[in-house]
Amino acid sequence: MKVFLNASGRQNDVSKELRAFLDYVAGIESEDDFVQRVAEAVREAKKNREWRHEYMTLLMRDQENIEKGKSVGEEMMLMLIQKLVDNNRFDDISKIKENKEYRQKLYKEYNISY
């Protein structure tokens, strides 16, 4: 079961403790003990230079990997389109745009991989 909570919601159908935490998430200060401990842990984490450096390093690596993935995807698609043009399979070009499964099948057929 998945439960979605809205920090801005006001139905008051959650416990007092959970309401205090949701208020904290929404930027509202609270005197709740748990919320105070969470806020202190967040403050300490923000002070930790090593943690910030690691986070930024991971974020940059993720962004680089996303760009590499886009580039590889483009290259594979262009290779497939060229193979289809070379084989006069023009109808398949429009199909690969709409049908991922069919595109994957053709990648295998033409032995196109990364």
- DSSP designation for 14: S
Q: Is residue 56 part of a domain?
A: no
**Would you state the structure tokens that stand for residue 25, as one six-digit string?**
């998430």
Q: Is residue 87 part of a domain?
A: yes
Query: How many whole angstroms from its chain centre is CA 68?
Result: 15
Q: Is residue 89 part of a domain?
A: yes
pLDDT digits (tens, 9 = 90+) for 4-13: 888 887 777 8
Q: Is residue 114 part of a domain?
A: yes
Task: Specify the number of domains making up the chain.
Answer: 2
Q: Is residue 55 part of a domain?
A: no
**Would you state the structure tokens that stand for residue 23, as one six-digit string?**
């208020």
User: Do 39 and 79 have their domain in common?
Assistant: no
- Range of the structural domain that residue 11 is part of: 1-47
Task: Supply the mean pLDDT for the chain.
Answer: 90
Contact 80, 103 (CB under 8 A): yes
Q: Is residue 54 part of a domain?
A: no
> Could you give the dihedral angle defined by the CA atoms of residues 14, 15, 19 and 25, in that order, rounded to the nearest 10 degrees?
-90
Residue 67 confidence (pLDDT) above 90: yes
Q: Is residue 25 part of a domain?
A: yes
